Amino acid sequence: MVSSIGGLPERRPRLSPGALAAILPPAAVILVISVIVGPGLMPGVGYWDTGEFQTVAPILGTAHPTGYPTYVILGFLVNVLLTPIGEPAFRMNVFSLLCVGVAAGAAVRLAIRLTGSTAIGIAVGLALATTPVAWNLATHADPHTLHLAFVAVLFAILLRWEHARRDAEADAAAAAKADRWLIAAALTFGLAAGNHSLMLLLAAPVGLYVLSVHPRILLRPRLIGACLVALVGSLVLVYLELPIRAGAFGEALRAPLVYARPDTWDGFWYVALAEQFRGSLHDPLGEIPRKLGELGELAQLQFGILAPAIVIGFLATAVRHPRYALLTGSATVITVFFNASYSNADIGRYYLGPVLWAWTWLGVLGGVIVEQLTGIDELVDAADLAAKAGGGPVPEGAPRPKRGRQPLLPGLVGAMLGALLLVPAVVDVEARLAAADRSNDTSARRWATAALSQIEEDAVVVSWWSTSTVLWYVTLVDGERPDLTIVDDRTRIDLGYGEATDVIQRFLGTRPVYVIRANAHDLGLVLDRYILEPLTAEPAGNVYRVIGARGAGS
């Protein structure tokens, strides 16, 4: 399109070749990931936390500790934007795919800046997304995928800031402009901390990195203040979602589903600080040999034949990019020690950060091998061209290229090394596809349909977490059976109802009561006091109608 000024046609500016070169590799990786992972997406609602996040995001509710307000807010917006593509549960599953795609795209930019090789950068992005832990999470709603995206974007911004400062050392104005990247990193950190508390483990590594890049930053209170405002301000803004949607500022603003009582001061901190999970960290410095053995097994599972090269990759990174090695190495040690001592039903999700950093180390190792096989001058040509295309500098320590040299040979070798990084995914592709494929997982929907077909009107369902989340989604998001009252084990605590048997006693005789228990022990506690009758519609046989109380002599 053209416009005219003073009668002369004026064309709108187009993206420069450098900007296109910076955008196309990440965009291509995101597209490939969508094609590979997309068909395996879960088509609808799921059990456990999946169902919770598929519920709270569309209704802008509050989730279990730490509340995940950034995920909930972004999930609400994504749910609105993706309205044409399916039901809300599916849209939240797509959100996870998008988050892994963004993480892979940021990893591409990060690896290109570290190695100067577009081929290796693309390989790192694809390898990250097809690592089993990332691939599995990409197929259903889970805030850990957003955590991975934030970490990848944060580290890409920090590295961009380091290179911008290095190029602007002799120019105060340019250095001040470069520091905008640090403020952007602080903003990203705040939003990320509002998504998952794992980000707090990265505070010390990021602080060490910033000091190593800019030791005199302590003498710049205005820059520190700007970063603090960006970080704390963004964190406070997203966490306001908890008390607002819990009704602290009026019942009209209260969401249909609120976890605990974040509308009170003590209740807010109970959720935000995850006090419910206090005590889940056990002996971080104990049983080191066992923990190292388990870490080795995890690395083998995620990286396949490349697992032994991770340590070599870190050493190569420490030589070529010592500040980045300080950042990622310290972050990995802290995160791994925490994870190895933390009790969680699916602890593999907590290793997404270390998986990302390990792939960038392997990328750097690939870049070093290219250098050794082709000679320093050829590699530098490729690095210089790639860095200029992305608007950034040559990787640290690299001399300026000689005129007339072409990057063809380094490019070819880089492509070969990039292909090597993808060998674990290619060799194990069928197993990874099968493990991650949730396209036929309609079990939660089938269970809910069967259960609701036999549960009477105006009933009270005394449930537990796995099935409660499905029932919440069906009643609150789908709008089916609004007559039902779902009393989860969390709900009865917040309402002061006592134990599950006390809830049954409260409503029995005035409303139909149904009960779902987590295990045989919990079901036995109910059977000791009440006569139960299972539903006959399959697969809802784990739902029992309470017929009445047992007699004193039964």
Q: In the prediction, which pLDDT does 413 show?
A: 78
pLDDT at 298: 86
Question: pLDDT grade, residue 400 (50/70/90)?
Answer: very low
What torsion do the CA atoms of 279, 281, 287, 288 make, to the nearest 10 degrees? -160
Q: Which of 37-51, 153-167, 328-342, 388-402 has the lowest mean pLDDT?
A: 388-402
Distance between CA atoms of residues 354 and 339, nearest Å = 11
Q: Give CA–CA dist 368/58, Å, rounded.
A: 47
DSSP 518-548: SSHHHHHHHHTTEEEEE--STT-TT-EEEEE
Q: What is the pLDDT of residues 533-545, one digit of tens each?
A: 999 989 999 999 9
Classified as helix, coil or strand, 387 is helix
Give the pLDDT confidence score for residue 341 in this predicted structure.
77
Say how far apart CA 481 and CA 470 lie, in whole Å: 13
**Chain-wide mean pLDDT for the chain?**
87
d(CA 63, CA 195): 11
Q: Is the pLDDT score of 381 beyond 80?
A: no
Residue 404 — very low, low, confident or very high, per pLDDT cuts 50/70/90?
Answer: very low
Q: Residues 248-262: what's their mean pLDDT?
A: 90
pLDDT at 49 over 80: yes
Rounded distance between C-alpha atoms, residue 261 and residue 274, angstroms: 13
| 499 pLDDT above the threshold of 80 | yes
How would DSSP label each residue in 100-145? HHHHHHHHHHHHHHHHS-HHHHHHHHHHHHTSHHHHHHTTS--HHH
Region 79-103 average pLDDT: 95
* pLDDT tens, position by position, 406-418: 467 777 877 888 8
In which band, very low, low, confident or very high, does the pLDDT at 389 lie, cut at 50, 70 and 90?
very low
Domain ranges of the chain: 21-44+87-239+284-435, 443-549
Measure the CA–CA gap between 14 and 56, rounded to whole angstroms.
Answer: 41
- Rounded to an integer, what distance in angstroms lies between the CA atom of residue 356 and that of residue 198? 14
The token pair at 224 is 């520190």
pLDDT on residue 18: 65
* Residues facing 511 on adjacent strands: 508
CA distances from 364 to 296, 325, 399, 475 (A): 21, 11, 17, 50
- As a whole number of angstroms, the distance between CA 151 and CA 220 comes to 26
Q: What share of the chain is helix, strand, coil (3-state, %, to 5)?
A: 65, 5, 25
Please give the average per-residue pLDDT across 33-53, as a whole number. 94
Q: Residue 553 pLDDT more than 60?
A: no
Q: pLDDT band for 10, please (50, 70, 90 cuts).
A: low
> Taking the chain, what is the end-to-end CA distance rounded to the nearest angstrom?
85
> Higher pLDDT residue, 176 or 137?
137
Q: Quick count: other Cβ atoms within 10 Å of Cβ 310?
A: 20
Residue type, 424: P
Amino acid letter, residue 439 = S
165 and 213 Cβ atoms separated by less than 8 Å: yes
